[in-house]
Homo-oligomer: A and B are copies of this chain.
Amino acid sequence: MATTQLEPVQEPKYWHLKTVLQEALDSEFSVGEILPNERDLAARFGVARATLRQALEQLELEGRLQRRRGVGTTVAPPRMGIAVGTTGASEGAWPGSGSESWRTVGCAEAVPPAAVAAVLGTGTDELVHTVRRVRMMQGQSVATELIFVPSGSVPALPALLTPAAHAPAVLRELHAMALESEDRAVELGSARAEDAKQLDRLPGAPVLVVTTRYRTGQGVAAVSVATYRADTCRLTFGETGTVQISHHEQEERREAS
């Protein structure tokens, strides 16, 4: 990466800078390589550090870079394709029944947020079983999830359970039921403090929030809210999984009339 002079343009500097860096990443760097530090880079391009950071932030958002305080900025590997939804069978499955590697980190009875309670049809002060899980992928945690299960959905659940036995028991009861359908929504969010910690990110990091509604003949039996790292994850839906296209490989896409 030469000491590139930015030619004068009527395009924001940070945008042009991003393009230049993008090209450098494609041609001169390999995955895992460490970039020069921000002060040096800024000096090299003749811009203020804040301006350089604006470009780096964009590239991190797009999954091209990874920055860690006290360490440095490295070239990120391509995003992982992560199966969400119909993970094997054709008609969906209860959480915890697939081959995905989730790790349960807690379970409690708690009052869910109002919006969740509304979908579940529970009272605004009604306690529901709340299972907290973390999804691992290639040795990293890529998602956290809260599964909300009203007591009414699992009537056969034993009354007294040790904390360790609580989550498995709730999921076991769920699996015993006939899942009629599930539907999902995906939206952009920012990581809340506790999620950020488990995802090894700073609070406010961009995440993809996947909300799933599990339905049986009796109505909505459970709701889950899963929070995926947006920088490292590409969520895949349907059939055998992996759509091969990674978004950042489309930079040189030709314009269609």
Residues of A within 8 A of B (CB): 15, 18, 58, 61-63, 79, 81, 85, 106-108, 110-116, 118-119, 130-132, 146, 163, 181-190, 192, 194, 203-204, 206, 208-209, 211-213, 223, 225, 230-231, 233-257
Contacts of A183 in B (CB 8 A): 236-241, 243
A206 to B63 Cα, complex, angstroms: 13
- Which label, helix, strand, loop or mixed, suits the secondary structure of the A interface? mixed
Task: Give, as a whole number of angstroms, the nearest-CB distance from A255 to chain B.
Answer: 7
Query: Given A58-B190, A62-B190, A249-B115, does the pair A184, B236 have CB atoms closer than 8 Å?
Result: yes
Copies of this chain per assembly: 2
Residues of B close to A182: CB separation below 8 A: 238
Q: Are B244 and A119 in contact, with the CB atoms below 8 A?
A: yes
Assess whether B110 is in contact with A254, with CB atoms less than 8 Å apart: yes
Residues of B within 8 A of A243 (CB): 119, 183-185, 211-213
Tell whether A112 pairs with B254 under 8 Å between CB atoms, given A62-B188, A208-B188, A247-B209.
yes
B15:A185 contact, CB within 8 angstroms: no
Given contacts A116-B250, A119-B244, A188-B208, 15 further A-B contacts (CB under 8 A): A79-B187, A119-B243, A132-B257, A181-B239, A183-B237, A183-B241, A183-B243, A184-B238, A185-B235, A186-B208, A186-B235, A187-B208, A187-B230, A188-B230, A211-B245
Contact between chains at B115 and A245 (CB < 8 Å): yes
- Please indicate the chain B residues that have their CB under 8 angstroms from the CB of A62 in the complex: 188-190
In this complex, which of A183, A212, A246 has the most chain B Cβ atoms within 10 angstroms of its Cβ?
A183
Q: Which residues of the partner chain B approach A18 to less than 8 Å between Cβ atoms?
A: 204
14 intermolecular pairs with C-beta atoms under 8 Å apart: A107-B256, A112-B253, A119-B245, A181-B238, A182-B238, A185-B235, A185-B237, A185-B245, A186-B186, A186-B208, A186-B237, A187-B230, A187-B233, A223-B245
Which of B79, B206, B211, B223 interacts with A61 by CB under 8 Å?
B206
